Amino acid sequence: MRVPLTIGDFLERAATVYGDRIAVTDEPDVAGSLGRITYGELHERARAMAVGFDSMGIGQGERVAIVSPNSARFLISYFGVSGFGRVLVPVNFRLTSDEIAYIVEHSGTSLLLYDPDLDEVVSRLSGVKAVRLDGVQDAELFDPAIGRGSEPSRWEAEEEATCSINYTSGTTSRPKGVQLTHRNCWLNAVSFGWHTGVSDRDVLLHTLPMFHANGWGMPYAVTAMGGHHVVQRRIEGEVILTRIEREGVTLLCAAPAVVASVLAASEDRRAEGRPAPSGVRIVVAGAPPPSKTIERVEQALGWEFIQIYGLTETSPLLTINRAPAEWDELAPDERARRLSRAGVPAVGVRMALSDDGEVLARSNHVFEGYWRQPEETAEALEGGWFHTGDGGYEDGAYTVITDRKKDVIITGGENVSSIEVEDVLYQHAAVAEVAVIGVPDEQWGESVLALVVLRPGASATEQELIEHCRARMAHFKAPRAVEIRQVLARTATGKLQKYKLRQPYWEGRDRQVN
């Protein structure tokens, strides 16, 4: 017997087994907040979405985009869109109108769902039907009564069908659409949940953006087990600690910047004589934090630190570093040092290194391809392995990431194409040459630095160039600093030598990523 693996399985199971249990606690005091809803109601609202798409003439296989901070509606959309045969296109809500417009057009989106906070951004888009997620415009689309009383059109489930298209910054100035199948997402979620010990007793705080690789697949995993989702929109350390206390949170996923924010808030609490909540598992990815940070998470907070490594193209789980029993008696600093490695292969994953030290992977989690970009797909999957673009080495069974071969900077867990930033800077009349690099940053892991040579006789301040970028691209992509140079290091053939430009900033470090 062969039954297709589709992500609708997860919500159907939860509604059947835990129908009366609270599934989601939405962010309070925001437009369209759903408060607390059960798994039965979550399922009904997802069915209502499918019925609504039927009535709008949005057929199975068509793309539905959502641009929103974390919300219960976003969680429902994972299942209301993909679970009934459409393709979800999660969009980074921090992007500009032009960037969102490109994704909408490139993906062939039929309907755009958007958060009320993004009225101004979406008002500049044209040529796509948009629905505001405010509890008014979208009332029928999420009406549980419709989900109970109407039957969505039948979808002949196929695990190789596209589940979502997730856009990620690559080495070009335009993002690429990562085409993930239901099989990719299903197996990633099951493996991720297995490795991190997800159970029906877990309470997940959504500190990771839901648009980011489908929340790494944790929304699927927690739903399948009937866990409690707690929506978090404001990513501030004290707000996170307060929600953990109030909701009994046991699990969260985060980029290193969130870890730094939580640690800072816990220090403030300690100074005030207030305890921070303990007993939480925190899963971190995006960049490996310093071992001292890991030690503080485990010793000062009393949380379990788990590190994973992967990419949007791998759904994303490739490796996991969760302390085994053999480390229980280790000194805290040695335990933290070992936890700073990317990790061992997850179940079903094979890791390898190319001759020039690039990290390669094979897995059922690896994507179908880049949407409408066959040449880039063939390059990424050359030789039957996914080429990560990261450099590293093997330490026994462990993969250690040491460098980034692609021109990508990871800041606060988000990918930034250095070429995209360079393209924007070249639009400034005073700029003759520019090289954008990632440099170590204690809070963000890496920050974006622009090295600029001005045209003869031209002038521009560092702040002026930063503001020029912020006006034309998402703020997280813009340089945090600009250095004016007289010349940039190049080869005899005129090629920029970025490794030489990066060297002074990374001197004394074992790794060229942070």
Peptide bond into 316 cis (omega under 30): yes
User: What per-residue confidence (pLDDT) applies to 514?
Assistant: 66
Question: Quick one: how far is CA 490 from the chain centroid?
Answer: 34
User: What per-residue confidence (pLDDT) applies to 456?
Assistant: 85
Q: Is the pLDDT of residue 31 over 60?
A: yes
Query: Which sign does the torsion angle of CA 57, 120, 114, 160 carry?
Result: positive
pLDDT in tens, 157-215: 999 999 999 998 755 558 899 999 999 999 999 999 999 999 999 999 999 999 999 99
CA nearest 361: which of 339, 382, 330?
A: 382
| Section 52-70 average pLDDT | 97
Percent pLDDT > 70 in the chain is: 97
pLDDT in tens, 343-352: 999 999 999 9
- Taking the C-alpha atoms of residue 381 and residue 375, their distance in angstroms, rounded to an integer, is 10
Write down all domains in the chain, each with its CATH number in brackets. 345-404 (2.30.38.10), 408-506 (3.30.300.30)
Of 82-96, 221-235, 263-277, 413-427, the poorest mean pLDDT is in: 413-427
- Taking the C-alpha atoms of residue 312 and residue 183, their distance in angstroms, rounded to an integer, is 15
User: What per-residue confidence (pLDDT) applies to 173?
Assistant: 59
Confidence of residue 498 (pLDDT cuts 50, 70, 90): confident
Query: Which sign does the torsion angle of CA 45, 47, 52, 57 carry?
Result: positive
Confidence of residue 391 (pLDDT cuts 50, 70, 90): confident
Q: Is the pLDDT of residue 108 over 80?
A: yes
| Section 431-449 average pLDDT | 89
The alpha carbons of the chain give a radius of gyration, in whole angstroms, of 23
Compute CA distances 10 → 162, 364, 438, whole Å. 17, 18, 39
| Section 350-377 average pLDDT | 96
User: What per-residue confidence (pLDDT) applies to 491?
Assistant: 54
**Which tokens hold the place of 92?**
């980074």
| Section 51-76 average pLDDT | 97
pLDDT in tens, 448-481: 999 998 988 889 999 999 999 999 989 999 999 9
> Residues 15, 21: contact at Cβ < 8 Å?
no
423 or 297, which is more confident: 297
Q: What angle in degrees, to the nearest 10, is found between the helix axes of 218-225 and 8-18?
A: 30
**Which tokens hold the place of 299?**
């010793």
CA nearest 32: which of 113, 100, 121, 89?
A: 113
Confidence of residue 493 (pLDDT cuts 50, 70, 90): very low
H/E element holding 360? strand 358-363
Q: Is the pLDDT of residue 487 over 80?
A: yes
CA nearest 75: which of 25, 12, 13?
A: 25
- Taking the C-alpha atoms of residue 62 and residue 514, their distance in angstroms, rounded to an integer, is 39
Confidence of residue 503 (pLDDT cuts 50, 70, 90): confident
User: What per-residue confidence (pLDDT) applies to 443?
Assistant: 84
Residues contacting 228, CB < 8 A, separation 6+ = 21, 22, 23, 24, 25, 202, 203, 204, 222, 247
Q: Is the pLDDT of residue 62 over 90?
A: yes
H/E element holding 408? strand 408-411
**Helix%, strand%, coil% for the chain, nearest 5:** 35, 25, 35
DSSP string, 19-72: TTSEEEEPPTTSTT---EEEHHHHHHHHHHHHHHHHHHT--TT-EEEEE-SS-H
CB atoms within 10 A of CB 338: 18
Query: Which sign does the torsion angle of CA 94, 178, 308, 498 carry?
Result: negative
- Taking the C-alpha atoms of residue 388 and residue 415, their distance in angstroms, rounded to an integer, is 13
What rounded mean pLDDT belongs to the chain?
Answer: 93
pLDDT in tens, 120-163: 999 999 889 999 999 999 999 999 999 999 999 999 999 999 99
Query: Which sign does the torsion angle of CA 489, 493, 494, 499 carry?
Result: negative
Q: What is the pTM of this model?
A: 0.86
User: What per-residue confidence (pLDDT) applies to 171?
Assistant: 55
406 or 367, which is more confident: 367
User: What per-residue confidence (pLDDT) applies to 83?
Assistant: 97
Q: Is the pLDDT of residue 93 over 50?
A: yes
User: What per-residue confidence (pLDDT) applies to 2?
Assistant: 93
